[in-house]
């Protein structure tokens, strides 16, 4: 690709309450980000460059993309959905620690390999992202609006960072990341929305 733009979805109602997973709508701040995103993208991409937008199948990424120009092709990928927290879906971290203390500790000890009961590990997500990465490698400019865990894996791939460390990497909300692969490595730029 020439460049890849990456963003988490705007803040969701679950982000406000500290719950993980789910399929919540955007919060008022998240809604504001969805309205600011078109200009941020246009300023970075340029007016006349066509862009393809990939989202997950969850409401918070689709809503984040909803004000982008209609001329942009949009595609929803199940493979871009958030890491599946299984039985912990919808809980806060405090509730997980209280209800599943051994799991909470096991995840902290080996976050990359820990698989939620009835759900996924980061290793699982890296594997399900393989078709996405292959498609990305042979595509032109793409904007991907996805979730923190998924974004960590895609980012680590292009920045040649260790996947085992990526589960600990903080990816801020309301920030557009531009990655441009070059012969000597991947160039990175970040644009923070004023929210
Ligand atoms: O809501 C879930 C997060 O995007 C994933 O965070 O893997 O650090 O628990 P975590």
pLDDT in tens, 155-180: 999 999 999 999 999 999 999 999 99
CA of 57 to the centre of ligand 1 (A): 17
Q: Which of these, 165, 171, 164, lies nearest to 192 by C-alpha position? A: 171
Residue 9: active-site member: yes
CA of 171 to the centre of ligand 1 (A): 10
Q: Which residue, judged by its Cα, is nearest atom 2 of ligand 1?
A: 20
Q: Which residues are documented as binding site for substrate?
A: 8-15, 60
Structure pTM?
0.96
Kindly tell me if the per-residue pLDDT of 188 is higher than 80: yes
**Predicted-complex ipTM score:** 0.89
Q: Which residue, judged by its Cα, is nearest atom 5 of ligand 1?
A: 149
End-to-end CA distance of the chain: 30
pLDDT in tens, 11-58: 999 999 999 999 999 999 999 999 999 999 999 998 778 899 999 999
Residue from 148, 163, 166, 173 whose mutation best tests the ligand 1 pocket (most atoms within 8 A of CB): 148
pLDDT in tens, 83-136: 999 999 999 999 999 999 999 999 999 999 999 999 999 999 999 999 999 999
Residue with token string 């701040």: 29
């Amino acid at each position: 690709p020439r460049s890849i733009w990456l963003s988490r979805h705007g803040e969701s109602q679950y982000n406000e309450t500290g719950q993980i997973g789910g399929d919540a709508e955007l919060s008022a701040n998240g809604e504001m980000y969805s309205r600011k995103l078109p200009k941020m993208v246009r300023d970075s991409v340029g007016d006349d460059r066509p862009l393809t937008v990939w989202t997950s199948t969850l409401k918070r990424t689709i809503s984040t993309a909803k004000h982008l120009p209609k001329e942009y092709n949009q595609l929803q990928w199940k493979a871009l959905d958030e890491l599946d927290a299984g039985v912990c879906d919808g809980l806060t971290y405090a509730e997980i620690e209280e209800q599943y203390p051994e799991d909470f500790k096991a995840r902290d000890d080996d976050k990359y390999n820990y698989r939620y009961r009835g759900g996924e590990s980061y290793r699982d997500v890296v594997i399900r992202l393989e078709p996405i990465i292959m498609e990305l490698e042979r595509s032109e400019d793409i904007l991907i609006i996805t979730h923190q865990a998924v974004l960590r894996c895609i980012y680590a791939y292009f920045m040649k960072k260790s996947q085992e460390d990526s589960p600990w990497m903080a990816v801020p909300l309301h920030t557009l990341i531009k990655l441009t692969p070059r012969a000597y490595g991947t160039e990175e730029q970040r644009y923070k929305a004023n929210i």
